[in-house]
Amino acid sequence: MKVKLKAPHTHNGVAYVAGDEIEVNASQAAWLAEMQVIDPVLDGAGGKSAAPKMPAITENLA
């Protein structure tokens, strides 16, 4: 998916400036949104994030 940067960012070794568009996958888009480099990506159906959320770890692994 294409996303528009709202802050400078280096992607695959290339430096981009705010306003540039780059091609990323859903997990990269979610990370960029979390880092506030892009606006949250919406799926167009109810305004939910297009990237799946990681499930919470509920068991004790120790």
Q: What residues are paired with 21 via a beta bridge? A: 4
Asked if 33 and 1 count as a contact pair (C-beta separation under 8 A), the reply is: no
Angle at CA of residue 50, ends 29 and 7, nearest 5°? 30
Eight-state DSSP code of residue 62: -
> Which tens digit of pLDDT belongs to each residue from 41-60?
876 544 445 555 555 555 56
> Which tens digit of pLDDT belongs to each residue from 4-46?
999 999 998 999 999 999 999 999 999 999 999 999 887 654 4
* pLDDT score for 47: 46
Provide the whole-model pTM: 0.64
Domain ranges across the chain? 1-53
**Could you tell me which of 24, 31, 36, 21 has the C-alpha nearest to residue 52?**
31
